[in-house]
Chains A and B, each alone.
Chain A
Amino acid sequence: MNNRQREEYRLLLDGQLPWPQTKNLMSSYKDRDRFFKILEIYQDKVEWDEKILLPIGEHLFIVQKGKQRIVKCSCGHEFGDYRKNWKFQAVLRVRNTVEDLEGIYPHADVCDPSWMEIREFICPGCGTLLEVEACSPGYPITFDFCPDLEGFYSQWLNHPL
C-alpha cells in the first residue's frame, strides 16, 4: 500500500474522505487486498499490541492474544472468546419508559415500552455505545456475528491465521 492509498483509507475510516473520492471507491473495481490494508490502518490506530484478526464493529475487533482469539474494544477492554457473544461481557442500559425513550427521541414519536425496549450495550472500559438493540421485552440477546475465522483465512485469504 502506497502512502496515498494509506491516507485515502485512513480518511475513509474517519469519515473524512471527500465525496468524489468516496464515490470513486464505491463505483470502481474493489481492490482484492483491501482487507489487509484496512487491518494495517486499524492496527496503527489502536494503542495495544495484540494482532487484529478481524474488525466486527465500529470499535470491536477479534484479536490474537496468546493462544486465544478474543474480542477487544479499541480502548483495550477485553470481552473474551469471539465464539461467545461479547454482549454478555458488556454493561447494559435499558430504556423501557416513555421518559427514557424521549431522551433519545425529542420531538418525535417513540415505541410503546410495553411492546418494545431499547437496549444499549456499552463498553465497560470507555463508555462507548457499541450496539443498540430494539426488541420486545424478554427477547433473547442477539449474537450479531460469529465468523468462520479459520475458513476465512485459509480458504478465502489463502493466508495463515
Chain B
Amino acid sequence: MTEANSLNSVLRKRLEESETMLAETGCYDGITTLECRDMDPLKFETIHMKLRAGCVSAREIARRISASPGVREVGEMVAAIYTPEGDAVAISNGIMVHVHTMSRFIKWMIRNDYEHDPGINPGDIFANNDAFIGTVQVPDVMDVVPIFHEGELVGWAGAVCHELEAGGITPGGDVALAQERFGEGLFICAEKIGLNDRIRRDYVIRCERNLRMPIYWILDEQAKVAACFSMRDRVLELIDEIGVDFYKRISKEFIEEGRRTQLARVRQLTVPGTYRSNTFYGHVTKGKPGFQPLGDPDWLYSIPLKMDIELDGKIVVDFEGAQPWGYHSMNCTPAGMDGGMFVTLTQHMNFEGLVNDGAWLATQLKLPRGTWTNPDSEFCATATSWALLLPAYGAFQRMLSRGFLARGFLEEVFVGQVNSPMIEMGGISQYGKPFGIAHFECAAAGSGALAIKDGLDTAYVGWNPESDMGNIEIWELDMPMVYLGRSILPNSGGAGKYRGGNAFMSTWVINKSPEVRIVTSEHSSRVFDNAGMCGGYPAPTCQKHRVVRNSNIYQRVEQRRPLAHSTGLDQNDLEQFYQGNQQIIEGPHIAAPMKEGDIFTHSYNGGGGYGDPLERDPVLVLDDIIQGHSSQIHGERVHGIRFKGTIDDETLEIDFSQTQKTRKRLRTERLQDAVPVMEWYESEKDKVKQGDFSPEVLKMYRAAMDLSEEFAQEFRAFWQLENGFAYPQNEQVDLSNE
C-alpha cells in the first residue's frame, strides 16, 4: 500500500471522521439535532419501518432458499442494512447477535483499505467468518454487499446464517474439540467471494472440498446474497422516493435516535449504581479420546461481572478478573462479546423505538486483554464461545433485572439465559453418503424465572429471541437417527417461589448408518453455570449422557415389546428396557463413533429460579407434579409441601394445614442450621489462606490474580490477606490425560 493510496482512501477517512465526531459531540457522527424527525416525526417512523420491513422480508426470502434446517426450521439468521461506515441502521428479527459483529466486519475492511485492494465495487460480495475480524464463532458466516447509488457508496446490506457444518476437527458448526484456530474448519477472512452479483465458482469449489456437508453452506450463501440484493433494492427504491441526500441524513438520525432511546430507556427502567454478579463454568474432558495436550483436560472458570449504570444512562460492563483465554474452543473475541451484549439489550430495553447500532453506542464493554473475553493471541479458538457467553450474559440479565426490580418494573425482571448444550455429528448418513450437521433443537432451553411467574419451559435461548426447537420430522430427514422420545425433564428448572423453565431431553436410536460420530459441547457438568435471584436456586447441571451401544432395540421392536422413551425420573429406564453396553458420560460426549442400533440421550438446561422456594404457591407445586414438570419428592423437600392421596390413583392433593406447619418448621430449622456470616467468614479465612481447594479451584484463583491486579487486591482485601499474597505454583495439577 502506497502512502498516496492510503490517503486517497475516502471511506477510511470518512470512518475516522465519523468516530471523531462521536468523540467530540457525544452524538453519532456529530448528529446533534434530529432534523428529519423534528420536521416530520411520522415520516421519520414510516421510513424506518420500510427499512426494517425490508430486512424482515429479506430474511424470510432467504429462509425459503436455504437447504439448512438451522435456517429454514429454527431461523438461525439475521439481515441488516448499514451506513457506508458500517453502522447498523435497521435490522430484521432472528439472531440479532450479529448486527454489530457484521458492523465490525465492514469496518475492518474499511480500515484495511479494501477500497483499494481488493476494491469495493458495485456487484461485489464479501464474506467472513473470522471472529477476530467480526463474528462470534466459525459457523457464523456473514455476507455483505455494498449499495451504490449513481456510483456513490450509500450503504451495505448484510446477512448472517449459522452454518450447521464448518469442516473442523469435529463435525458440525460448534467445533468442540478445536484447541487452536487451526482445528476450527474453513475460514473465510473478509474475502471477496463474488463479482457482478455472482458468487465465484472457485469459492464454491473451495467450500465443496472443505466441508462435510457443503450443501448447507453453499445454499445459505445463495440465500444470504439474495437477502442482501433484496435489501439493496429496497434501499435504492427508497432513495428514488426520498432523494439520496435525505436518505443519507435520515439513516444517520435513526442511529442517533437509537442511541438516545437506549440512554432514555436505562434512565426510565433502572436505577443508577454499581451492580455485581458472577457465574462459573467447568469443563471436563479427562480420559476422553480426542484430548490434545495443549491445555488442561479439566478446568474451571469464574466469570465475574461488574455493571455501572451512570447518571446519563450509559451502561458500562466490566469483565475485570476474568480468566485467561485457553487452549479450548470457548474463547470469545470482542466482536462476540459485543454480539452477546447487543442481543441481550434488544430483548430487555429496545423493545420499542428504533433497534440499531445506536443501542450499542450507548453502552461500553471493558474486556481485559489476555482474558477469554479479549484474547491476545489470534491463534486461539472461538468455535464454542457461547459456552462462556451465555452464562456471562445471563449474569448481565440478572444485574439489569435488579435494576428493573428496584425501579418497580416487576414484570421485566428475568433471571436470565442459560447454556444449552449442542450436539454435532458426522459420518455416513441414512442415504449412504458422508454428512455433517449441528442439531439445533438446543435453541429451546428453559428460561430463567420472572419475578412474577415461572420461566418458560423449553422455549428460550439468549442468542435468538425467537427460540424454536424445530420439528422432529425435519431433523430426522437430516440425520441418521430416529427419535425415541422428546420429553420434559422434571425438576430441571431452578427452584424458587417461581421456578426456572424446565428443559427437555431427547432420546434417539442411530438408524441406517454404520458410523456416526457424535460430539456435544457447552456442558458445565461440575458447576452450575447459571444462577437464581432473590432466594431462587440455579438450575441443576444437565443430565449426563446415557448411551446404550449394541442395544437390542430392533429385537424389542420386532417382538412388539414396550420401549423406553427417555431415561425416566430415576435415570435408569434405559438399563431396565434395553440390553447392551450401557455408558454414562459426564460433560461433553467425546467418544468412539456409534452405529445403527445404538441409543443416545442428550438433555438441555433449565433456567434459574426466583424467590424463596418456601413461598411457592402450593397449588403451582401440585400442578407441576400432575403435569410431569416436577416430582412429588421435590415438592416435599424443596417447597415444604405435605400431600394427601397419591398421584397414581389421581387423588393427590395438598394438605394445607400440614404444609403451613411444615414450612414454619423448615424456617426454624434453617435458622438453627445457619451461622452468622461473620462467623463463617472467620472459619473460612484460614482455608483460603492455606489454599485448601481442589487443584482446579486453586488454579482458577491463581490465574485471575496473575492477570488482574484489581481482582488480586479485592481478593486479598476481602480475606484480609497480606499485601502481595499469591498462591504458589501448584505442581499437583495433573495436566496429563490419564
Encode contact with B along A85-120: 1 for CB under 8 Å, 0 otherwise.
001111111100000000111111111101110101
A57-B405, A109-B544, A155-B311 are known contacts. Are A132 and B537 too (CB-CB below 8 A)? yes
Cβ of A152 within 8 Å of any chain B Cβ, yes or no, is yes
Q: Check B491 against A105 for contact (C-beta < 8 Å).
A: yes
Residues on B with beta carbons closer than 8 Å to the beta carbon of A108: 491-492, 540-541, 543
CB <8 Å contact, B569 and A112: no
B351, B452, B541 pick with most chain A CB within 10 angstroms: B452
Residue A32 lies at the interface, judged by CB distance under 8 Å to chain B? yes
Bound-state CA distance A22–B700 (Å) is 43
Q: Main SS of the interface on chain B?
A: mixed
Complex interface: chain A residues within 8 A of B538 (CB): 118, 132, 134
Taking a contact as CB atoms under 8 Å apart, the answer to whether A58 and B611 are in contact is: yes
Q: Is B267's CB under 8 angstroms from A136's CB?
A: no
* Contact of B543 with A12 in the complex, beta carbons under 8 Å: no
Contacts of B631 in A (CB 8 A): 106-107
Which residues of the other chain, A, contact B678 by a CB distance below 8 angstroms? 88
Please report which residues of chain A, range 12-65, place their CB below 8 angstroms from some CB of chain B when the two chains form the complex.
Answer: 12-13, 15, 17, 19, 22, 25-27, 29-30, 32, 34-35, 37-39, 54-59
B507-561 interface with A by 8 A CB criterion: 525-528, 531-538, 540-544
Bound-state CA distance A60–B613 (Å) is: 17
Q: Which residue of B lies closest to A136 (CB)?
A: B697
Are A116 and B280 in contact (CB-based, < 8 A)? Answer: yes
A146 to B274, alpha carbons, bound, how many Å? 5
Q: Quick check: A148 and B272 within 8 Å, CB to CB? A: yes
Q: In the bound complex, do residue A145 and residue B527 qualify as a contact, i.e. CB atoms below 8 Å apart?
A: no
A110–B524 alpha-carbon span in the complex (Å): 11
Which residues of B are found within 8 Å of A135, using beta-carbon distances? 278, 280, 302
Contact B451 A111 (CB under 8 A): no
Contact indicator B668/A127 (Cβ below 8 Å): yes
A13 CA / B452 CA spacing, docked (Å): 7
B531 partner residues in chain A, CB cutoff 8 A: 132-134
From B533, B534, B615, residue with most partner A Cβ within 10 Å: B534
Nearest-Cβ distance from residue A117 to partner chain B, whole angstroms: 10
A91 to B610, CA, bound (A): 19
Q: How far is the CA of A83 from the CA of B367 in the complex (A)?
A: 27
Q: What is the CA–CA distance of A114 and B614 in the complex, to the nearest angstrom?
A: 27
**Total residues of chain A contacting the partner, CB 8 A:** 77
Known contacts A58-B612, A140-B714, A145-B406; A124/B671 CB under 8 A:
yes
CB atoms of A25 and B535 under 8 A apart: no
B491 near A55 (CB under 8 angstroms)?
Answer: no
Partner of B311, one of A59, A111, A148: A148
- A118 and B309 CA atoms in complex are apart in Å by 28
Q: Find out whether the CB atom of B311 lies under 8 angstroms from the CB atom of A156.
A: yes
Of the candidates B406, B452, B535, B540, the one whose C-beta lies within 8 Å of that of A56 is: B406
Within 8 A of A (CB), among B403-424: 405-412
A93 and chain B: residue at smallest CB distance:
B674
Which of these binds chain A: B9-17, B70-78, B687-695?
B687-695
Contacts of B491 in A (CB 8 A): 105-108
Q: Are A115 and B527 in contact (CB under 8 A)?
A: yes
Instruction: Assess the A89–B677 pair: CB atoms within 8 A.
Output: yes
Give B117 Cβ to nearest chain A Cβ, in Å: 50
Residues in B331-368 with C-beta less than 8 Å from chain A: 351-352
For B, the interface residue count at a CB cutoff of 8 angstroms equals 96
Q: How far, in whole Å, are A135 and B527 apart by their CA atoms in the complex?
A: 8
Collect the chain A residues with CB atoms within 8 Å of residue B670's CB. 93, 120, 122, 127, 129
Residues of chain A within 8 A (CB-CB) of B407 are 34-35
Q: Could you tell me if B528 and A15 are in contact, using CB atoms closer than 8 angstroms? A: no
CA distance A144 to B534 in the complex (A): 10
Task: Given A107-B491, A111-B528, check contact A132 B674 (CB 8 Å).
Answer: no
Name the B residues within 8 Å of A111 (CB-CB): 526-528, 541
Q: Which of B271, B399, B693 contacts A137 (CB 8 A)?
A: B693
Task: Tell me, yes or no, whether B483 is within 8 Å of chain A by CB.
Answer: no
User: Are A129 and B277 interface neighbours, CB within 8 A?
Assistant: no
Q: Which of A109, A124, A133, A156 contacts B540 (CB 8 A)?
A: A109
* Chain B, residue nearest A123 (CB): B671
- Give a binary string over B465-492; 1 marks a CB under 8 Å from any A CB, 0 the rest: 0000000000000000000000000111
B535 touches A58 (CB 8 A): yes
Interface pair A15/B452, CB less than 8 Å apart: yes
In angstroms, Cα B612 to Cα A32, docked, is 30
Residues of A within 8 A of B638 (CB): 103-104, 106
Complex interface residues of chain B between 395 and 446 (CB less than 8 A to chain A): 399, 402, 405-412
Give every chain A residue within 8 A of B534 (Cβ-Cβ): 57-59, 130-131
Pair A147/B492 contact, Cβ less than 8 Å: no
Our pick among B498, B613, B617 for the contact of A129 (Cβ within 8 Å) is: B613
The 0/1 profile, CB within 8 Å of A marked 1, for residues 682-706 of chain B is: 0010011000011011001100000
Q: Are A107 and B542 in contact (CB under 8 A)?
A: no
Contact with A along B640-671 (1 / 0, CB 8 A): 00000000000000000000000000011011
Measured in the bound complex, the distance between the Cα atoms of B352 and A27 in whole Å is 9
Instruction: Report whether A156 and B272 are in contact in the complex, using a CB–CB cutoff of 8 Å.
Output: yes
A59 vs chain B, min Cβ distance (A): 8
**Which of the listed residues A30, A127, A142 has the most CB atoms from chain B within 10 Å of its own CB?**
A127
Does B728 belong to the interface (CB within 8 Å)? Answer: no
| With known contacts A56-B406, A138-B687, A151-B311, A129–B612 Cβ distance under 8 A | yes
The A-contacting residues of B in range 279-300, CB under 8 angstroms, are 279-280, 282, 300
For B275, the closest partner residue in chain A by CB is A145
B497 at the interface (CB under 8 A from A): yes
| 14 further A-B pairs in the complex, CB-CB below 8 A; given A38-B408, A88-B678, A110-B541 | A15-B453, A89-B677, A108-B541, A111-B528, A114-B694, A116-B282, A122-B670, A129-B670, A137-B693, A142-B276, A147-B273, A148-B274, A148-B311, A151-B272
- Provide a sorted-by-A list of 10 A–B residue pairs whose CB atoms are within 8 angstroms: A55-B406, A56-B402, A103-B638, A104-B495, A115-B280, A124-B671, A136-B697, A137-B687, A144-B276, A148-B309
